[in-house]
Amino acid sequence: MRDFIVGDKDTGLTGRLKIKAVELGFNLVGVTRAAPSPALEAYFRWIDAGMHAGMGYMARPDRQARRRDLNAILPGIESLIVVGLGYHTGMIPPAILEDPARGRIAAYAWGADYHDIMTPRLEALAEWLAVEQGEDSIHRVYVDTGALLERSHAHQAGLGFTGKNTMLIHPRRGSGFFLGEILTTLKLDSYDVPGRATMCGNCTRCLTACPTGAFPGPHVLDARRCISYLTIEHKGWIDRDLRPLMGNWVFGCDICQDVCPFQRFATPTQESVFYPQDVTRAAPPLLDLLALDEAGFHARYYGSPLYRIKRERLVRNACIAAGNWGNRAAVPPLEALLGDASPLIRGHAAWALWRILGGDARSLLVNAQRHETDQAAQAEIAGLLG
C-alpha cells in the first residue's frame, strides 16, 4: 500500500507523519495548509438551491461560518492532514447484490462502523505528531462529523480528484475510501499540492446511470433525489414517485461509483473488519428484513453503520424494495406490517402491497384505513385508494 502515499520520499516531519499514518493502517495521506475550500462558493449555491434536502444542519449559519474560516473550528489552525482508508472488498457477486428478493446495502456498510476504526487511529496519529514536534499544539479529529468540505480538502492534500459523481477519486485506486481529517495548530515542514481538478474527460457514465436522476449536472448532486440520502438520512415519507426507481437498495447506493471506470483500479482492503461476515451483511433477504423487530434489529446491526438509521427506517426501506420486487411472497409480512407501531412503516407497507397486488390490495387497504389513527399514514393510504 505504500506506493499510494502522496509525497512519501519526503524525510522531514511531513514524510515521517505519512509513514506513521501507513503504520496505523491508512492507505492515503496528504497534508494541506488550513485554508477555506476552493469549492466553498459552489457549496453555498448548492445549499441555496435546497439540494441538501432535509440536512438542515448543513445550512446552519454557525456551520457556514466554520466552513468559511477554519479558525472558527480551531483557533490558530495551521494544517489539515487528510487520510483515506479503503473499504473495497469486491467480495459479493453482482448476481446476489442485484437479486430483487434481497435488500441491497452499500459496500461501505458491509462490515464494522468505520467511525470506530478511523477515529482512534486518527487520535493516535495526532498524538504521535504532537510528541514528535515537541510543541504545544491543539488538534481536532473528524470522521465526516465536522463542518468541513472534506472531499475538497482531500483534493487540496493531493489525495485525488473530484469526479462528476462528486466523489473523491484516486486515479489509481478509485473512490472506495473513508476520509478522515486532523486539524492542527502545528505548522508542517512541507505540504502537498493538489493534483488535477478532475480526470473525468468526456465520460458521463455516472450521470446517466443514476436511476433517480439525482445529478442535475456534472459535479452536482441533488440529495433530494439520491437513494443514499433517501434511505439513510431522510427520516420521513419517501416521495411516491421516487420509490419505484429505488430498486432493491435498502441502505445507501453504489451505482454512480460502481459504473466509474476508475473503480477497476480498486484493490481489496486489508481491513478484515470491512468484509461482510456473510452474504446477508451485504444483501439480506427482504423477507428477513420485513420480519425484523426491535430486538432482532439490535442483535443484527449493533456496531454496523446500519445501526444509526434504526429499525424504522430500515424496514421502511425494505417495504419499498419489496414493492419493487413485486413478489407475492412478501404479502404476508407486509400485511403484518400494516399493524406496526410505526405509522411510517404502516404507510410504506400499504404502498408495497398496492404495488404488488394492485386492485387486489383494495380490501386490505380499506380495512387498514379504517383502523389508521395517524394522519400521514391515512393520507398515504387514501392516496393509494385514490
Give catalytic residues, as residue numbers.
Answer: 144
Question: What are the beta bridge partners of residue 267?
Answer: none
Q: Which is nearer to ligand SF4, 169 or 338 (CB)?
A: 169
Does residue 352 sit in helix, strand or coil? helix
92 binds ligand SF4 (CB under 6 A): no
Q: Which is nearer to ligand SF4, 206 or 384 (CB)?
A: 206
Among 260, 319, 321, 344, the residue binding ligand SF4 under the rule CB under 6 A is 260
What's the min distance (Å) between Cβ of 44 and ligand SF4?
21
Does 259 bind ligand SF4 (CB under 6 A)? Our answer is: yes
Q: Which of residues 160-179 bind ligand SF4 (CB under 6 A)?
A: 163-165
Q: What share of the chain is helix, strand, coil (3-state, %, to 5)?
A: 50, 10, 40
Cα distance between residue 103 and residue 286, in whole Å? 5
**CB 326, CB 355: distance < 8 Å:** yes
Cα 25 off chain centre by: 21
Site string for ligand SF4, 96-125 (x = CB under 6 A): ------------------------------
Of 262 and 301, which has the nearer Cβ to ligand SF4? Answer: 262
Element (H, E) at 353: helix 343-357
Angle, in degrees to the nearest 10, between helices 362-371 and 375-385 = 160
CB of 108 to ligand SF4, least distance (A): 11
Q: How far apart are CA 56 and CA 235, in angstroms?
A: 12
Q: Which is nearer to ligand SF4, 33 or 205 (CB)?
A: 205
Q: Which of 200, 266, 314, 377 is in the footprint of ligand SF4 by CB under 6 A?
A: 200
DSSP 53-70: TT-GGGG-HHHHHHHH-G
152 is an interface residue for ligand SF4 by CB under 6 A = no
Cα–Cα distances in angstroms (integers) from residue 108 to residues 167, 174, 175, 274, 372, in the given order? 14, 14, 11, 8, 37
Residue pair 316/348 in contact (Cβ under 8 Å)? The answer is yes
For residues 262-281, which are near ligand SF4 according to CB under 6 A?
Answer: 262
Q: Which three cell numbers stand for residue 164?
A: 462528476
Question: How many CB atoms are closer than 10 A to CB 328?
Answer: 10
**Which of 58, 203, 220, 331 forms a contact with ligand SF4 (CB under 6 A)?**
203
Touching ligand SF4, residues 210-249 (CB under 6 A)? 210, 212, 214, 221, 226-228
Q: Which residue's CB is nearer to ligand SF4, number 194 or number 333? A: 194
Stretch that binds ligand SF4, among 44-52, 250-258, 330-338, 351-359 (CB under 6 A): 250-258
Query: Nearest to ligand SF4 by Cβ — which residue?
Result: 163
Q: Answer yes or no whether residue 187 interacts with ligand SF4 by CB under 6 A.
A: no
Interface positions with ligand SF4 (CB under 6 A): 163-165, 200, 203-206, 210, 212, 214, 221, 226-228, 253, 255-256, 259-262
